[in-house]
């Protein structure tokens, strides 16, 4: 059985007299034990999808099953099997960390005794010892996030949903949290996360799909996706703007695709080592002056760029 099974999931909102389709029919399945990622810019429909899967938002159309339980028909059972850490976090900041853990444990049906035991082991796991009895208002961003992860997993969920788990964290805390997520995976948990950080998707996810404007535009392992951008990428930066840089590479069999952003031109090529000299010659023979030329492997951002015509970095992702 798959951990998550989604068929033609749709959601639209009625905003200011207009019907806005936030999720336009997505299909996917996530296997047990996978770390699966939703990568996309803000407003792509990632969070809306996640909120439907976690029973927070009614499903308009389509079907979603979590460990076989139908989200629409059996939300209560789904809730028992999932953990969720939202973008907003969900720490009760007026209470201590321990009170947060105890309340949640008991809402999930644990006895006071097992709630206490479970809280202790999570405090240990997420290194919360020094702060757990302080009012959560006083926590730093990283501390609060760790508590929230603890709140998300205290009932041993089969799937953990993380909505933008590292947004707002500094690099050190981000790496720290990545390690915690890897530990959860190692313990057999299925993790479903959304992110607009490419590095995060690349680093953590076994498989991911790229989402834009309510649809899934690509799906696969990070390396599969990068291979879709077959070959290498040559980036050249011109000294001056050039009007029709695309046309001078027309008919060149090395160059598969071109993306122009002002003076920065990305050429997707089959084999970088072979294409570089040719590209250099073409540039020279057209009397174009170069600032720099470089060769690189495509990143997930290039996959995104290829599919949507825009860079993820330009669409609201902050780095």
What does the binding site for other proteins look like in residue numbers (CB under 8 A)?
Answer: 13, 54-58, 76, 79-80, 82, 84, 86-95, 99, 103-104, 106-109, 135, 151
Count, residues in the chain = 319
CB of 55 to other proteins, least distance (A): 7
156: which DSSP letter?
-
Q: How far is CA 149 from CA 84, 143, 198, in A?
A: 8, 10, 21
Which is nearer to other proteins, 78 or 225 (by Cβ)? 78
CB of 89 to other proteins, least distance (A): 5
Whether residue 266 contacts residue 256, with contact meaning beta carbons closer than 8 Å, is answered with no
10 Å CB burial of residue 82 (0-12, 13-18, 19+) is buried
What are the strands, taking DSSP E only, across the chain? 4-15, 18-30, 35-39, 61-66, 69-70, 82-85, 159-163, 190-195, 207-212, 215-220, 232-238, 255-261, 264-269, 290-296
Q: How far is CA 159 from CA 7, 69, 85, 89, 193, in A?
A: 18, 12, 11, 17, 10
Which is nearer to other proteins, 103 or 290 (by Cβ)? 103
CB burial of 38-74 (b: ≥16 within 10 Å; e: otherwise) equals: bbbbeebbbbbbbbbbbbebebeebebbbbebebeee
Q: How far apart are CA 24 and CA 176, in angstroms?
A: 35
CB of 30 to other proteins, least distance (A): 18
Q: How far is CA 243 from CA 76, 85, 180, 238, 276, in A?
A: 59, 48, 49, 12, 22
Which is nearer to other proteins, 31 or 94 (by Cβ)? 94
Which is nearer to other proteins, 80 or 313 (by Cβ)? 80
Which is nearer to other proteins, 34 or 163 (by Cβ)? 163
Whether residue 184 contacts residue 114, with contact meaning beta carbons closer than 8 Å, is answered with no
Which is nearer to other proteins, 58 or 277 (by Cβ)? 58
CB of 296 to other proteins, least distance (A): 39
CB of 284 to other proteins, least distance (A): 56
Which is nearer to other proteins, 153 or 234 (by Cβ)? 153
Which is nearer to other proteins, 33 or 89 (by Cβ)? 89
Distance of CA 266 to the CA centre of its chain: 24
Which is nearer to other proteins, 152 or 298 (by Cβ)? 152
């Amino acid at each position: 059985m798959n951990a998550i099974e989604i068929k033609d999931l749709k959601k639209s909102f009625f905003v200011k007299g207009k019907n806005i389709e936030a999720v336009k029919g997505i299909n996917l399945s996530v296997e047990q034990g996978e770390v699966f990622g939703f990568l996309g810019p803000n407003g792509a429909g990632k969070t809306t999808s996640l909120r439907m899967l976690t029973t927070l938002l009614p499903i308009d159309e389509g079907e979603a099953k979590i460990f076989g339980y139908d989200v629409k028909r059996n939300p209560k059972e789904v809730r028992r099997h999932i953990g969720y850490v939202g973008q907003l976090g969900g720490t009760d900041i007026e209470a201590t960390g321990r009170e947060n853990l105890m309340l949640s444990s008991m809402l999930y049906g644990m006895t006071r005794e097992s709630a206490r035991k479970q809280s202790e082991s999570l405090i240990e796991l997420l290194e919360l010892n020094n702060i757990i009895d302080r009012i959560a208002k006083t926590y730093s961003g990283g501390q609060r996030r760790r508590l929230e992860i603890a709140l998300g997993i205290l009932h041993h969920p089969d799937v953990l949903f993380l909505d933008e788990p590292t947004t707002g964290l500094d690099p050190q805390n981000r790496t720290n949290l990545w390690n915690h997520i890897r530990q959860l995976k190692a313990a057999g948990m299925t993790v479903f996360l959304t992110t607009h950080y490419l590095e995060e998707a690349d680093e953590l996810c076994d498989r991911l799909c790229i989402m834009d404007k309510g649809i899934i535009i690509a799906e696969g392992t990070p390396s599969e996706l990068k291979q879709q951008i077959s070959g290498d990428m040559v980036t050249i930066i011109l000294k001056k703007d050039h009007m029709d840089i695309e046309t001078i590479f027309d008919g060149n069999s090395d160059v598969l695709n071109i993306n122009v952003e002002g003076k920065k031109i990305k050429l997707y090529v089959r084999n970088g080592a072979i294409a570089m000299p040719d590209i250099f010659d073409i540039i020279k023979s057209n009397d174009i002056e170069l600032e720099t030329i470089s060769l690189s492997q495509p990143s997930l951002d290039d996959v995104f760029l290829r599919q949507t015509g825009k860079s993820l970095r330009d669409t609201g992702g902050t780095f």
